[in-house]
């Protein structure tokens, strides 16, 4: 059987007992980055065969892994941080299993999305997750405009190289809108920036935030 195993987004202790047990029992661990996975596995005293599975080879690897599953192997799929398939490899593997009638299970576990939402102080009774903001400026602006028009809180992943520009666009479109930048969640330098779009844009212009970033935008009041 195939098990989708969420991995810590920062702190290596943020992994369930069940996930550790299934990683130990796996015949093979398919990892987005085998070097990154090795750090986590070594920390928990686990040594299993590794196979790379990332965005550039997932289509090819999915068929290979499906064959091994059909032969009776137990395989764990482990991405670098958070839930497989959410802005990470995993979707094609799900489809491969469904098309072939192969059994799989998805474990609950770490994700930066919900901690960012709860810690932001923004309304959390409903929300929209948009994955990574587009790289191209026109598409990114359109995504931010759509977020500002929604009634619920929007959450995006954003690169530290582009976050200052995204905040500047928000400050131009809706300077008083409440936003939050959640960075390095569960890590040593975890930090939340909370304030208006104009306030956070000015702050980022002086010192752009670094690390893994979630950008949260309050919905339009109705």
Mean pLDDT of 45-50: 96
Residue 171 contacts residue 125 (beta carbons within 8 Å): no
Give the domain ranges of the chain: 2-106, 113-217
Mean pLDDT of 129-142: 95
Mean pLDDT of 107-126: 93
Nearest to 44 by CA among 20, 73, 67: 20
pTM of the model: 0.87
Pick the CATH number of 2-106 from 3.20.20.10, 3.40.50.2000, 3.40.1010.10, 3.40.720.10: 3.40.1010.10
| Residue with more model confidence, 87 or 157 | 157
Residue 204 contacts residue 163 (beta carbons within 8 Å): yes
Pick the CATH number of 113-217 from 3.30.950.10, 3.30.420.340, 3.40.630.40, 3.40.190.10: 3.30.950.10
Across the chain, mean pLDDT equals: 94
Residue 123 contacts residue 218 (beta carbons within 8 Å): yes
Q: What percent of the chain clears pLDDT 70, i.e. is strictly above it?
A: 100
- Cite the DSSP H helix spans in 15-152: 17-25, 34-43, 58-70, 91-100, 113-120, 137-149
H-helix or E-strand spanning residue 169: helix 163-173
How much is the pLDDT for 81?
87
């Amino acid at each position: 059987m195939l098990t989708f195993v969420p991995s810590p987004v920062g702190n290596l202790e943020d992994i369930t007992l069940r996930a550790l047990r299934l990683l130990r029992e796996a015949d093979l661990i398919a990892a987005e980055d085998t070097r990154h996975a090795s750090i986590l596995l070594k920390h928990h005293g686990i040594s299993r065969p590794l196979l790379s599975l990332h965005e550039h080879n997932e289509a090819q690897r999915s068929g290979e892994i499906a064959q091994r599953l059909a032969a009776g192997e137990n395989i764990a799929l482990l991405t670098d941080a958070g839930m497989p398939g959410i802005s990470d490899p995993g979707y094609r593997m799900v489809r491969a299993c469904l098309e072939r009638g192969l059994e799989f299970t998805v474990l609950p576990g770490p994700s930066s999305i919900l901690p960012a939402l709860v810690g932001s102080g923004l309304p959390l009774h409903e929300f929209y997750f948009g994955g990574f903001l587009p790289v191209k400026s026109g598409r990114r602006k359109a995504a931010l405009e759509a977020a500002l028009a929604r009634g619920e809180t929007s959450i995006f992943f954003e690169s530290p190289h582009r976050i200052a520009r995204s905040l500047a666009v928000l400050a131009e479109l809706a300077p008083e809108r409440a936003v939050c930048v959640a960075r390095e969640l569960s890590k040593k330098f975890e930090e939340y920036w909370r304030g208006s779009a104009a306030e956070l844009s000015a702050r980022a212009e002086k010192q752009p935030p670094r690390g893994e970033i979630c950008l949260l935008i309050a919905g339009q009041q109705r």
